[in-house]
Structure 1
Amino acid sequence: MSGANSTNLIDLQIMWNRLIAVVEEQAQVLLRTAFSPIVRECGDLSAGVFDSKGRMLAQAVTGTPGHVNSMAESVKHFITHFPLHTMKPGDAYITNDPWMGTGHLNDFVVTTPCFKDGKLVALFSCTSHLMDIGGIGFGPDATDVFMEGLYIPMLKLIDQGVVNETLMSMIRTNTRLPIDTEGDTYSLAGCNDVGCQRLVEMMEEFHIDELDHLADHICDRSREAALAEIAKLPKGTWRNSMVVDGYDEPVTLSATLTISDTGIHVDFAGTSAASRFGINVPLSYTTAYTVFGLGCVVASQIPNNAGSLAPLTVAAPSGCILNAPKPAPVASRHIIGQMLPDVVFGCLRQIIPERVPAEGTSCLWNLIVRGETRSGAGGNYGFSMAVTSNGGTGARFAKDGLSATAYPSGVRGTPVEIAETQTPLIFWRKELRPDSGGAGRTRGGLGQIIEVGSGIGTPFDILAAFDRIDHPPRGRDGGRNGEAGYVGLKSGQKLRGKGFQTVPPDDRLVVMTPGGAGIGDPKERAEASVRDDVESDLVSSEKAAGVYGFSRQA
């Protein structure tokens, strides 16, 4: 290899790394300027840069797979609706179409063309979760998407620097939180502008006028690296199925995973039909979490972009709950969609068991609360908040599962101090749930116990969207199941796992999130590990003796 070519490859690698830094700054701007706590405190967002073909070249580490991997396809829809030759400097486009965005109306996607010397060189796109966009609220009770809130088609948000005030007025008028929603919309547009500025600075530093060569390098190398990892796996077909609670009846998720020379394909034929309620999943979101699960196992060291995603393909029959067509209700699509890594892990554990965990809580256990405020809310109508929380992840082959950790979503838990600042609620308890992790040679992660009451003597609503109550995470190879989830009132009344319900002012909401499942015979667990669990109050003495055969006096 000549010196000139070597330098060129080095420059390409440096620019690739710089692109990742650029989109991370883009994400941090969004994180720090967002109004919604679920974004600024928990990181429920995505940010990325795309070439003129709509290929994602880099994504920010900050963000969620459901946003990132579905946003990766949404930019192509923007280009279809707004051809590149019609885009001008200062333009920005927006949608929350679930089937062309990230799966439900609460996510706004904003895409901005980036120009250098008057020529379009790239597009920046970002997504964040907005807490309230009208309708019946962020819950699974709707029976079509039109009940779920304001539906924004592909529209121009900013035209050569001039904001579409008609659209902004529509957005403000159709939400219980107009201040937050308007602020979040400008935050999305603003972070894209920062990304554009940083990209142009990079291009000037390296004296390049277009990204085509760099884009091809990124996509080609990433695809080759992913295929090289897939080539190490045996060829063939494996199947797995998993039953989850559903809304009014259990849902079966069935997967057939095929590994070939061209990649990995997952087909969800055999999965339950779409639900009447808002737990359905658009195919874009199904694809996003399926390929994320595959990537975690097969290509964890390869940057996530159009090239590394290309060998991972997904299909689901139209009309099933994982490919629900418009106008199906989809507000709580994460409940089912976030189960999909566990489903594909069930296929992969048949060939590479040491690389995949047992089943975990998987779906977020968000406390979606809404109610009135005594003294007003500065332009908003009451309060509405998703207090993010989760249960335990499944045990790993050689390590325990993680407690109270949002996998596969990746969002951070909402700090109690923030929730109590933003709402008139008091969190009386928020602690790990002893004995909730499934016993095994390696133990599942623990869930949480959360107790919440009104601080102003008024009732509040819980828009329940929980799972793993009737069907807890399953243990494997002799490991025990994780503990099932529970939602109820302190007075003793059990609440439904899904649906709109009211917590009386003189009672408290009690939520116990599920634990992750265990791997292997509990009797094979190291005695020192059991002793540590008991001394840390993660496992009771009774369970240590009865399940692990451990005595503190031994």
Structure 2
Amino acid sequence: MSQIDDIRMQVMWNRLISVVEEQATTLLRTAFSTSVREAGDLSAGVFDREGRMLAQAVTGTPGHVNTMAEAVPHFIAALADEEMRPGDTYVTNDPWKGTGHLHDITMVSPSFLEDELIGFFACTAHVVDVGGRGFGADGKSVYEEGIQIPIMHFARAGEVNRDLLRLLRANVREPDQVIGDFYSLAACNDVGHRRLVEMLEEVGLPRLDPLAEFIFSRTHAAVMERIAALPRGQWSNDMLTDGYDDPIRLAAAVEITGDRVNVDFTGSSPVSRWGINVPLIYTKAYACYAIKCVVAPDIPNNAASLAAFTISAPEGILNAPRPAPVSLRHVIGHMVPDVVLGALAKALPGQILAEGAGALWNVHISARPVAGQPGRRAEVLMFNSGGMGARPGLDGLSATAFPSGVHTMPIEATEHTGPIIVWRKELRPDSGGEGQYRGGLGQIIEIGPEAGHEFDFSAMFDRVTTPPRGRDGGGSGAAGVVELDDGTPLKPKGWQFVPEGRRLVLKAPGGGGFGDPAARAPEDRARDLRRGYVSRKPE
């Protein structure tokens, strides 16, 4: 391939990334659920005919993007006996073939150019309700957690599957929002397809195959170069998370060889009887993300970059078999990067950030009028974040969703969806771990029902009994707290009740510190005090 051809292909690669960005923007602008529209809890990407991911949208979460990379081949295998046609769209929320729990809807659409299959577009999004017990850890099997949609047609040759829509309406609490999101997902793929066809016709390329070969060969070479610069060997780490009623142990052994990085989770806890289990597809997604953050953060994410990382786990909390309950797979799954990074910190001392809050402090609220009072019912999902761990050379980011990467949801948008009031949302002083570089702060959120209303809420919080640990001499971040405004302690997981006149108070954990606290610069300490990040001078 000549230099001119290389330049041409690079331009087309950049165009392809723009295509999937527009694909994701379509979903953001048309979604009904606030978790998608405001928080960006989604993914979008384009795949070749074999189901290999070529490009992903920057908007989205690692848990969605990297599981979607494995999900598309599951669709192709399941539909092997089907005749794919223009206008087809397929859907599933299978936790083991999609993104790890029933609340995430994955849609895949074949892309045709002059009646020849050239690739696929795929997208995922978290919908507000899938029926069952609701978004929580209380189910004892996946059968209790909501409606299950096997890989099937959402639309056949452009004709929407009305039977599926009727089933959805009969099984979910917010049918208009959920079905609206299904249409948004389908539209998202359709926009990607149209833009891809326009690009290929403009440049006179009849298939994606030459561009795919260029993308994969360049990505593979770049990743191999980065792995070659790493030390060789094996390093281990373990950590505890709160679990549901018993602590959960996560263990990881990271092995770096000549051409790959392998992570094995042998030694992690067995399957839980509660809905905090993680299907292997989701464990892989966040383990790969952790490695990529260290090894190749600036290399585009696609099938070739992910192929350099192999993930294994025995049956257990991080490789939960069907029909284990998995609704809150993100709570434990978001801890996977910290346990992997802890092992990499031994391979690359002084280069890896401290532990952070990890799991999002999401709260799902089911609000209703008090008996005999007028009012409205609503399902409200609110995303909140604790602090990130301090980094080598930099303080941790406060109230930041790492590793998930979702946005903070505006209070106005949250209050608009249901009869609740967010009375308080502010940074939590003194929550960042001490160190030469301070851990990021958590936040305090106070939520109450409107007058004449009450609500049940699903607690899905961690780092309440096991705070984030510091690194290289840094102190631990503050543990989280869940309580009512009168001081009544509440459980960090499970459905619970907030009556009219009371408020739910969440104090999200702070990130761990990095380095010896005695080495923190005096001007940094003075700035912390001046900004209210700490409440007093250190003794």
TM-score w.r.t. the length of structure 2 is 0.98
In structure 2, what is the equivalent of residue 11 of structure 1? 8
1:138 to 2:131 alignment: no
Task: Tell me the secondary structure at the aligned position of residue 346 of structure 2.
Answer: coil
For residue 323 of structure 1, what is the amino acid of its counterpart?
A: N
Q: Which ranges of 4 or more aligned residues in structure 1 deviate by more than 2 Å? A: 373-377
The CA deviation at 1:372 is 1.5
Distance between the aligned counterparts of 1:384 and 1:106, measured in 2?
13
Contact residue 422 and residue 445 of structure 2 kept, 8 A: yes
Task: Compute the displacement of 1:458 (Å).
Answer: 2.1
Alignment partners' CA distance in 2, 1:271 and 1:280: 12
Query: Could you say which residue in structure 2 is the equivalent of 1:358?
Result: 354
> What residue in structure 1 maps to residue 436 of structure 2?
441
Indicate the percent of aligned positions where both proteins have the same amino acid. 53
Check conservation: 1:389, 1:413, Cα contact below 8 A: yes
Residues 70-102 of structure 1: per-residue CA shift (max 9 Å, x gap): 000100011001128710000000000000000
Distance 1:384 1:294 in 2: 36
Structure 2 counterparts to residues 445-484 of structure 1, below 5 A? 445-484=440-479
- Which AA in structure 1 matches 2:501? D
- Secondary structure at the aligned position of 1:187 is classed as helix
- Tell me if the contact between 1:353 and 1:397 (Cα under 8 Å) persists in the aligned partners: no
* 8 Å contact kept, 1:140–1:465: yes
Matched with 2:480 is 485
In 2, distance between residues paired with 1:133 and 1:159? 23
Select the residue among 168, 176, 191 that pairs with 1:194. 191
- The residue number in structure 1 matching 2:63 is 66
Shift of 1:20: 0.5
Residue equivalent to 1:550: none
Tell which deviates more after alignment, 275-284 or 351-360: 351-360
2:494 is paired with a residue whose SS is: strand
Which residue does the alignment assign to 1:524?
519
Aligned to 1:494: 489
SS of the counterpart of 1:349?
helix
Q: Structure 1 residue 375: deviation in Å? A: 6.0
Q: 2:474 corresponds to which letter in structure 1?
A: G
Alignment of 1:50-65 (within 5 A): 50-65=47-62
CA displacement at 1:376 relative to structure 2:
6.3
Alignment of 1:297 with 2:290, yes or no, is no
Deviation digits for residues 522-548 of structure 1 (CA, Å, limit 9, x no counterpart):
11100000000000000112xx322xx
Query: Which position in structure 2 is the counterpart of 1:551?
Result: none
Report if the CA contact (8 A) 2:350-2:472 is conserved: no
Aligned-pair CA distance for 1:227: 1.3
Residue ranges of structure 1 left out of the alignment (5+ in a row): 547-554
Deviations 1:152-203 (Å, cap 9, x if unpaired)? 0011110001111001111121100000000000000001000000000000
Quick check: 1:538 aligned with 2:533?
yes
Structure 2, unmatched stretches of 5+, are none
Q: Does residue 288 of the first structure (1) align with residue 300 of the second (2)?
A: no
Contact 1:357 / 1:394 at 8 angstroms: preserved in 2? yes
1:312 aligns with 2:305: no
Which residue does the alignment assign to 1:46? 43
Q: Distance in 2 between matches of 1:233 and 1:5?
A: 32
Q: How does 1:122-161 map to 2 (within 5 A)?
A: 122-161=119-158
Offset of residue 476 of structure 1: 1.9
Report the Cα distance in structure 1 between the residues aligned to 2:29 and 2:461, rounded to whole angstroms.
Answer: 29
Contact 1:278–1:331 (8 Å) recurs in 2: yes
Could you tell me which amino acid in structure 1 is paired with residue 447 of structure 2?
V
- C-alpha contact 1:481 1:516 (8 A) present in aligned 2: yes
Query: Which of 365, 368, 372 pairs up with 2:368?
Result: 372
Structure 1 residues 422-437: aligned runs within 5 Å: 422-437=417-432
| Alpha-carbon distance between aligned partners in 2 of 1:375 and 1:202, rounded to the nearest angstrom | 55
Once residues 367 and 518 of structure 1 are traced to their aligned partners in structure 2, the CA distance between those partners, rounded to angstroms, is 27
Structure 2 counterpart of 1:103: 100
In the aligned structure 2, how far is the partner of 1:245 from the partner of 1:457?
A: 35
For each residue in 1:3-35, what CA deviation from the matched residue of structure 2 results, as whole angstroms up to 9, or x when unmatched? x71111111111111111000000000011000
Aligned to 1:181: 178
**2:248 maps to which of 246, 251, 254:** 251
Structure 2 residue aligned with 1:549: none
Alpha carbons 1:223, 1:309 under 8 Å: kept:
no
Which residue among 218, 231, 240 is the counterpart of 2:237? 240
Partner of residue 515, structure 1 = 510
The residue identity in structure 1 corresponding to 2:361 is: W
Q: Deviations over 1:256-279 (max 9, x none)?
A: 000001210000000000100000
Amino acid at match of 1:197: R
Are residue 340 (structure 1) and residue 336 (structure 2) matched?
yes
* Matching residue within 211, 215, 224 for 2:212: 215
Q: What CA deviation, in whole Å up to 9, does each residue of 1:417-462 have, x standing for no partner?
A: 1111111111111100000000100000000011111112322011
Q: 1:478 & 1:64 partners in 2: Cα distance?
A: 31
Contact 2:354 2:390 survives alignment (8 Å) = yes
CA distance in 1, matches of 2:98, 2:29: 23
- How far off is 1:355 after superposition? 2.9
Under a length normalisation based on structure 1, what TM-score does the superposition of the two structures give?
0.95
Query: What is the CA-CA distance between 1:353 and the residue it aligns to?
Result: 3.0
User: 1:17 and 1:56 mapped to 2: Cα distance?
Assistant: 15
Match of 2:17 in 1: 20
- Who is 1:267 aligned against? 264
